[in-house]
Amino acid sequence: MIIVMKEGAHQSQIDEVVHLLETKGLGVHISQGEEKTIVGVIGPKERVRELPVESMPGVEKVVIVSNPFKLASRAFHPQDTLVTVGNHVVGGGDPTIIAGPCSVESLEQILEVAHAVKKSGAHMLRGGAFKPRSSPYSFQGLGETGLKYLAEAREQTGLPIVSEVMEIDALPLMCEYVDVLQIGARNMQNYPLLRAVGKTQMPVLLKRGLAATMEEWLMSAEYILSEGNPNVILCERGIRTFETYTRNTLDLNAVPVVQHLSHLPILVDPSHGVGKWQYVTAMARAGIAAGAHGLIVEVHPNPKEALSDGEQSLTLDSFDTMVQEVRRISAAMNIDEAIYSPHR
Amino acid sequence: MIIVMKEGAHQSQIDEVVHLLETKGLGVHISQGEEKTIVGVIGPKERVRELPVESMPGVEKVVIVSNPFKLASRAFHPQDTLVTVGNHVVGGGDPTIIAGPCSVESLEQILEVAHAVKKSGAHMLRGGAFKPRSSPYSFQGLGETGLKYLAEAREQTGLPIVSEVMEIDALPLMCEYVDVLQIGARNMQNYPLLRAVGKTQMPVLLKRGLAATMEEWLMSAEYILSEGNPNVILCERGIRTFETYTRNTLDLNAVPVVQHLSHLPILVDPSHGVGKWQYVTAMARAGIAAGAHGLIVEVHPNPKEALSDGEQSLTLDSFDTMVQEVRRISAAMNIDEAIYSPHR
Amino acid sequence: MIIVMKEGAHQSQIDEVVHLLETKGLGVHISQGEEKTIVGVIGPKERVRELPVESMPGVEKVVIVSNPFKLASRAFHPQDTLVTVGNHVVGGGDPTIIAGPCSVESLEQILEVAHAVKKSGAHMLRGGAFKPRSSPYSFQGLGETGLKYLAEAREQTGLPIVSEVMEIDALPLMCEYVDVLQIGARNMQNYPLLRAVGKTQMPVLLKRGLAATMEEWLMSAEYILSEGNPNVILCERGIRTFETYTRNTLDLNAVPVVQHLSHLPILVDPSHGVGKWQYVTAMARAGIAAGAHGLIVEVHPNPKEALSDGEQSLTLDSFDTMVQEVRRISAAMNIDEAIYSPHR
Amino acid sequence: MIIVMKEGAHQSQIDEVVHLLETKGLGVHISQGEEKTIVGVIGPKERVRELPVESMPGVEKVVIVSNPFKLASRAFHPQDTLVTVGNHVVGGGDPTIIAGPCSVESLEQILEVAHAVKKSGAHMLRGGAFKPRSSPYSFQGLGETGLKYLAEAREQTGLPIVSEVMEIDALPLMCEYVDVLQIGARNMQNYPLLRAVGKTQMPVLLKRGLAATMEEWLMSAEYILSEGNPNVILCERGIRTFETYTRNTLDLNAVPVVQHLSHLPILVDPSHGVGKWQYVTAMARAGIAAGAHGLIVEVHPNPKEALSDGEQSLTLDSFDTMVQEVRRISAAMNIDEAIYSPHR
C-alpha cells in the first residue's frame, strides 16, 4: 500500500499516519518528493487493506499496489490448473463443451437433449433442477426429481452432470447426483455458500456476477480455494451494461485478462451472455478465439415450448452446427506462444 | 403481452403463434395494421411471461405490458405500508434514522456508539455481527458475540437492533437477538434466503443489489411478501456505474420512482452509496429531500481505527450535525400533496 | 506518478525505466521495499502522464497520483467562482433557477413560458433553437428564428437567455443573441468547440457527458478555462447506467464531489436527469439539498403538444410549485460550514 | 407505436389520447382487452415518435414498435453494403486490416510503420494528425504536417489513409489528404459533423460512442446516409462499463447484432476496446470469429516512446504475429450460412 500525502501536509499529519501504521505492526518507508510525501507500507496485505488511512487529515490518496487474491493468482501458481470431471479434463487441450436445457422439464426432454448433444460432441450435460428466478411465480425447477432425471441421462450417455446449487442445505443432495456444482451469477458473492462448496472436493463452476469486476470474481474463487478445494472453473456469462438490445454484455475481454491474472480455467456462456439464440453461435466462436477453455450452452429440443430461457436456447440442429464451427476455430488456434505470456 | 409480427409475416406464422397461445389456454386478440400485425395476449401474467414467442418465425418483438410484481405494487395496495419496529414506525411522519458501526468490534465500541447516536436522535442501532467481505482474509465479524453486544446496547438504550443475516442457518439465532433483519446488496437475489425471512414476521430491510433494476428489487420484495411477511423496508444503497471517484453511485432517482411503483417504505444509505464520509451528510440531506422515509448511516467513534468501512463512517460529532441538518430539510418538506400522485 | 515494479523484477528492468524517465528530463526517486521496488517520478504532470511505462518489462502497475486538471481545481483556486449573468450571480447565495421549454416552438409559446417562469421566480430562460436530435428526421429547432423569439422574450421579461451551441460556425450568431452558451452532453468532449467558447468571455454552461467521469468533465472545463474564459458553470444532467425505468440516472453524488475538487459552480438538471416529469420536483429538491448552486428545468405550457421532451417537461403550474418547494429546502440549508471543507 | 392505457382508465382519457393522435393526422386502432385498452397508432414513425403521449392521464406505457433507423436498416437494404477504398473492398471476402500508430509523430515513424504493416498484410494505414485528447495540455497531433507525412507514406506503399476529422472546418483539408474519414467515439453524436461528412462521398469510419446503444450508433450512421453518402463503415471500439481492469469493454456482441439490424460493414478496434497491448491479439481473433469484416489496430515501432496510446500499441513484430493468427481464424470461418439469417 502506498499513501500519498497532500501537498503541504504538516509533519504532524505524516507522523500520525506513521504512528498508526507502526501501532498495527506494519513497516513504513517514507519518500520525500518535492511537492508531496509518499509513505510506503510494508506488511501482510490482508492487514494493510483494512486500514482506513484515506480519511486521515493530510492524506490525499491511498493506492493498493498488489492484487487481493493469492491462491487464485498466477503469481502463486504459474501453471494452468486442470480440472478433471469424469474422464474429461477442463483446461487441457480441446475446448470443453457443456450443453443442455436451462431447466430439466421431463425425463423425455433431458434424455433427448443428452443423447443429441453427446452425438454432436458435448463433454458434459447441463440442466437446472433448482432454478433462481426473478419472480416467485415463475417455474422454479423440478427439484430432486430433476436431479434423478439428470442421473438417468448420465447413466444412458456417460455425460457428467453440471447443475446449480442455490443453498447450503441442498448441498448434500446435489453432491449425491451431480459431477460439477454450479454457482450462479446471483450467488457469486454468497460467501457462506462459497465456503460450503469449498469444503467439498467437487469441481465448481463459478459464474461471474452481473456487476462483478474481474478482481471480485477472483476473490470469490479465493473463498473456495482457501477452504481447500482447488477444482474451480470460472465462467464468463455477461455483465450488465447500458445496452438493452442484448440481455447482457458478454465480456470476452475477461478471457485473456483472467488467464493473465489467474491459473484457473475459464469457460464462456454465450447463451446468457447475449441472450438471443440468433447470436449464440457467433459469440461461441468468438469466445474460443479469445482463448477460452470451453463453452456452456443452452440447448432445447423445442425452444418455443421451453419453460425457461427459450429465447436463448439453440435447437439440437443449430447446436450441432455450432460445435462444428467452434471446432474449426479451435483447430486454427494452434498457436505457439502461451496466451498469458505474450512476447512483444 | 403484445406480440408484434414482422412486416410481411406470413399468415401461417401468425397462425402458429396463435396456436401456441391457445394451446397454453391464453386469450388472443389480433389487430391487423397496415404494415404489421399485432397479437395481444390475455391471461395470467405469470404464464404469459414464460412463453418464448420472440424466437418464433415471423415475430419481430414481444412487449411485456404489465409490471411483474403484484403484492409489492401500489396498484395492489394503494396506501403506504407502515412497518412498526419497537415503538417506532417506519414510513410514518418523521424520517427514520438508523445509525451505528459497520461491524460490532467490542462491547465498549458498540455501547459508546449506541448511547451517542441515541442522544443525537437515532431511532435504531445498526451493527454487523456476520459480515460479507469480498476477501476471505478480511475481518468477518464477531458472530454471536457481536449479537450479544448489540443486545446489551439495546438493553441500555432501548434502541432496536438492525443486523444483516447472510444465511438461512443463522436465521433462528438472528431472530433471537435482532429487531430488523437486513438482507445485504449481495444477497438481494438469494431467493432461498428471501423465502426464509418471508416465513418470519420480522421486519426486513432489503437493500438494492449493485446491478439490480428497480423492477428486480421489487421482485425480490415480492418473494418476501409472497411468503406472508408484509414488513418489508426497501433501502437504496448505491448502484455500480462507470464512475470511480465514488465507491458506488447513490441512485436517489429510485426514491420517487419506487414510491410511485410501490407502497413499501424506502430508506437511503448514503454511507455505502457514496463511500466517502466527506460526502455522506450532503447525500443524507438529498435523500430526505427526494422524499425518502429515512436513513441508515455508518457511525464510528474512531473511524481510523475501524475494522471495516472506516472511510465512509461519520464520527459521533459529524453524525450529530448530520441529524440536525437532515431535520431542517425534513421540516421544510411539509408538502401538501403526496409524492406518489403529483398533479400537473 | 508512481511506478510499481513486479516482484522479482530484474535490476536491468528497473534501470531501463529509470533511463527512460531521465531521458525525458524527469526526476526519479527509488524506494526498495522487501518484495517490490517503487519508482517515484518527479516533474510536470502533463509530461509524466504521456509515458507508456506500464508496458515496459518488469513493470506491474503505474499509479497517477495527482489530478489532471489544474485551472479547474480547488487547489489552484480555493475560493468559489461566481459567474455573473445580467444582474444575477451564479454560485452566490440563492439557488439559480433556469427554466423554459426544450425547444423554442413559436413566439407565443416562448413568451408565455418566459412570463410565467419569471413570475414564479426563475432567473434565466432556457430554450433550444438548434437541437441535437438522435434522429435526422426529428424536429431540429427553429434556428435563427428561434433565437429572435428568445431575444424578444428577454426584451419583455428581462430574463437572460441560455441556449445550446452545437458547432463553431454558429458561435458568432449565438453570441449575438444569447447570454449563456450551453454545451450539451453529447458535445462535452468536442474539443474544438470547447476551445472556441473558451476564446469568448461568455458564460458557458457545460453539461456532463452521459459516460463522462467527473474527472473527464473537469478536464473539459479545463479546455475552456485554459483558453482564458473563466466563466464556466457545470451542470449535472444524468449519466447512463443499466437502469431503464428512468431516462438517465441523475448522479447527485457529483454535487458535493465536484465542489470538493473544483471551485466552479454546479447546477443540476433534473428534467434530463430522470426523464419523467412526475419525478422532476423530487429530484430538484434533492439537488438543492445536496448543495447545488441551482437548477435548470424544462417547462412547457402544454407538454403533450411539445415538439420535443414533452415527457419530462413541467407545466407552468407544477413549475411554480417546484420553485416554492425548492425555496423551502434552500432556506433550510443555511449551514454553518462550507460543504467542501467538512469537519469531522 | 402502441399505447397501453392503465387498468381502469376512463373512456374520456382514451378519447383524449385518440383526439390528440387524430389531430396530428395519425391513424388509430383500438383493442379493448379484459383489463386494459390498447391503442395502436398508424402513421410515419418520425411523427409518431415525437408525441409525448406517455405523460397523458390514464396512459400506462408507450411502446415504440419499429426501429428508428431506415436507410441503415437491413429491412431497407437486404444486401451487405460493400465500401471500396482504393482497390480494397471493405465488407467483401477477406477481413480488412487497418494498422498504424495512434498519432503521426514524424516522417520516419510513419514510414517505418507503413512499410512494416504493408509487409505484414495490412490494407490501409491509420494515423492521427488531429487528436482528441482529454487534456488540453497533451500532445494534440502534428496537424497538416502529419497529413503530409501520411500522404508520403501512401505514396511509398500504396496504402490508403484513415485519419480522424474532428471539426467541419478541417474537412476540406482532410479530404485532400485522406482516403477514409474517421469519426471518433467522442464525436459520434456531433450531428453537424455527421451531416458534413454525409455531404461528401468519402468513405466514413464511424466509431461507436462510449455510451452509445447500438440503436443510437445506427442513428448516427443514418445522419450520414440521409445526406447521400452510402459509404459508411461501422467500428466497435469498446463501451464504458464498471470494469476498470480494461480501459473499455470491447462489446463483440455488437458484431452479430449490427449485422442482423444493418447492411453496413463493421470493423473491430481491439486496441481501444481492451486498452492493453497484451490482450489485443486475443480480442482481434475474437472479433474476426464473431464475424467482423475487419480490424483497426494501433501499431508503433517503439511503443514505450509513443506520444499517445503506447500502452495499447502492438510492436511491428507482434502485429505481424497477430495478422497470421487472425488469418487462420478467418480461413476457418468459411461458413455456409449467412450470419444474419441463421436457421434454427
Local structure of residue D159 (DSSP, 8 states): -
Q: At C199, list the grid cell.
A: 476564446
Residues 6 or more apart whose CB falls under 8 angstroms from that of C336 comprise none
d(Cα D285, Cα D270) in Å, to the nearest integer?
9
Q: A152-188 in b/e burial notation, b at 16+ Cβ within 10 A?
A: ebbeebebbbbbbbbbbebbeebeebbbbbbbbbbbb
The pLDDT value recorded for residue C304 is 80
Cβ-Cβ contacts under 8 Å, D214 against chain A: 243, 245
Pick from A104-108, B137-141, D252-256: least confident: B137-141
d(Cα A130, Cα A133) in Å, to the nearest integer?
9
For the segment A202-260, what is each residue's pLDDT rounded down to a tens digit?
999 999 999 999 999 999 999 999 999 999 999 999 999 999 999 999 999 999 999 99
Interface test with D, best of C20, C64, C67, C135 (most D CBs within 10 A): C135
**Cα distances (angstroms) measured from residue C307 to each of B344, C133, C310, D96, D210:** 19, 12, 7, 43, 28
Q: For residue B300, what is the nearest residue in chain C, using CA coordinates?
A: C344
**pLDDT-based confidence at residue A34 (cuts at 50, 70, 90):** low
The pLDDT value recorded for residue B342 is 37
Residue matched to cell numbers 451564479: C90
pLDDT at residue A89 is higher than 50 = yes
- Residue B143 three-state SS: coil
The pLDDT value recorded for residue D152 is 98
Q: Is-contact D322 A265, C-beta < 8 A?
A: no
For the segment D272-316, what is each residue's pLDDT rounded down to a tens digit?
999 999 999 999 999 999 999 999 999 999 988 888 888 899 999
Q: Is-contact B320 B314, C-beta < 8 A?
A: no
Query: What is the distance in angstroms between the Cα of A121 and the nearest Cα belonging to chain B?
Result: 25
Q: How many CB atoms lie within 10 A of CB D44?
A: 10
pLDDT at residue B52 is higher than 80 = no
User: What would you measure as the largest C-alpha separation in chain D, in angstroms?
Assistant: 76
The pLDDT value recorded for residue A339 is 41
**pLDDT-based confidence at residue D46 (cuts at 50, 70, 90):** low
Among C40, C63, C75, select the one facing A33 at the smallest CB separation.
C40
Cβ-Cβ contacts under 8 Å, A308 against chain B: 50
Share of chain D above pLDDT 70, in %: 93
pLDDT at residue D343 is higher than 70 = no
The pLDDT value recorded for residue B339 is 41
pLDDT at residue D338 is higher than 60 = no
Cβ-Cβ contacts under 8 Å, A31 against chain C: 29, 31, 38, 40
Residues 6 or more apart whose CB falls under 8 angstroms from that of B1 comprise B40, B41, B45, B48, B49, B51, B53, B62, B63, B64, B65
Taking chain D, what is the end-to-end CA distance rounded to the nearest angstrom? Answer: 29
Q: Is-contact D17 D58, C-beta < 8 A?
A: yes
DSSP structure string for C225-293: HHTT---EEEEE--B--S--SSSSB--TTHHHHHHHHB-S-EEE-HHHHH-SGGGHHHHHHHHHHHT-S
Question: H helices then E strands: how many in chain B?
Answer: 11, 14
Q: Which amino acid is at A25?
A: G
Whether residue B253 and residue C256 make contact (CB cut-off 8 A), yes or no, is: no
d(Cα C3, Cα C62) in Å, to the nearest integer?
5
Q: For residue B192, what is the nearest residue in chain A, using CA coordinates?
A: A167
> In terms of DSSP bridges, do strands B37-42 and B27-32 run parallel, antiparallel, or are they unpaired?
antiparallel
ipTM value, please give it.
0.90
Question: H helices then E strands: how many in chain C?
Answer: 11, 14
Local structure of residue C184 (DSSP, 8 states): P
**pLDDT-based confidence at residue A22 (cuts at 50, 70, 90):** confident
User: What would you measure as the largest C-alpha separation in chain B, in angstroms?
Assistant: 76
Whether residue D60 and residue B63 make contact (CB cut-off 8 A), yes or no, is: no
**Cα distances (angstroms) measured from residue B87 to each of B84, B264, D329:** 7, 19, 69
> In terms of DSSP bridges, do strands D294-298 and D266-268 run parallel, antiparallel, or are they unpaired?
parallel
Among B213, B318, B339, select the one facing C243 at the smallest CB separation.
B213
The pLDDT value recorded for residue B27 is 79
For A134-149, what is the mean pLDDT? 93
pLDDT at residue D72 is higher than 50 = yes
> In terms of DSSP bridges, do strands C96-100 and C88-90 run parallel, antiparallel, or are they unpaired?
unpaired
d(Cα D225, Cα A144) in Å, to the nearest integer?
57
- Residue B44 three-state SS: coil
Pick from B58-62, B181-185, D138-142: least confident: B58-62
The domain limits of chain B are 2-63, 83-331
Residue matched to cell numbers 456476477: A209
Q: D264-279 in b/e burial notation, b at 16+ Cβ within 10 A?
A: bbbbbbbbbbbbbbbb
Residue matched to cell numbers 447484432: D257
Nearest to A68 by CA among A271, A251, A184, A221: A221
Interface test with C, best of D137, D169, D197, D241 (most C CBs within 10 A): D137
The pLDDT value recorded for residue A42 is 72
Q: For residue B56, what is the nearest residue in chain A, using CA coordinates?
A: A304
The pLDDT value recorded for residue C138 is 85
Whether residue D55 and residue C277 make contact (CB cut-off 8 A), yes or no, is: yes
**pLDDT-based confidence at residue A341 (cuts at 50, 70, 90):** very low
For the segment A158-189, what is each residue's pLDDT rounded down to a tens digit?
999 999 999 999 999 999 999 999 999 999 99
Q: Between D254-261 and D214-226, two packed helices, what is the crossing angle to 10 degrees?
A: 50
* Number of residues that this document lists for chain A: 344
Q: Output the CA torsion sign for A96, A101, A104, A110.
A: negative
The pLDDT value recorded for residue D48 is 65
Better pLDDT: A128 or A58: A128
Chains touching B, CB cut-off 8 Å, 3+ pairs: A, C, D
Q: How many CB atoms lie within 10 A of CB B91?
A: 18
Q: Is-contact B233 B265, C-beta < 8 A?
A: yes
Contacts 24+ apart (CB under 8 A), B25-32: B27/D34, B29/D31, B29/D33, B31/D29, B31/D31, B31/D38, B31/D40
The structural architecture, per CATH, of the domain C83-331 is Alpha-Beta Barrel (3.20)
Whether residue B169 and residue A169 make contact (CB cut-off 8 A), yes or no, is: yes
pLDDT at residue B337 is higher than 50 = no
The size of the A-B interface in CB pairs under 8 A is: 128
Q: Is C100 left (phi over 0), alpha (psi -120 to 50) or beta?
A: left
Q: What is the mean pLDDT of each run of 10 residues along chain C (344 residues)?
A: 82 88 82 74 67 78 78 93 96 93 96 98 97 89 96 98 97 97 97 98 98 97 97 98 96 97 98 96 98 97 85 95 96 60 36
For the segment B213-259, what is each residue's pLDDT rounded down to a tens digit?
999 999 999 999 999 999 999 999 999 999 999 999 999 999 999 99
For the segment D209-252, what is each residue's pLDDT rounded down to a tens digit?
999 999 999 999 999 999 999 999 999 999 999 999 999 999 99
Q: Output the CA torsion sign for B86, B89, B91, B97.
A: negative
3-state secondary structure B84-95: EECCEEECCCCC
CATH number of C2-63: 3.30.70.1140
For B86-109, what is the mean pLDDT? 95
Whether residue D168 and residue C169 make contact (CB cut-off 8 A), yes or no, is: yes
Q: At A237, list the grid cell.
A: 456469462
The pLDDT value recorded for residue D253 is 98
Cβ-Cβ contacts under 8 Å, D66 against chain B: 36
Q: Is B143 left (phi over 0), alpha (psi -120 to 50) or beta?
A: left
Q: Is-contact D300 D108, C-beta < 8 A?
A: no
Alpha helices for chain C (secondary structure H)? 11-23, 45-49, 107-120, 144-157, 171-177, 191-198, 214-226, 254-261, 270-274, 280-290, 316-331
The pLDDT value recorded for residue B34 is 64
The pLDDT value recorded for residue A224 is 97
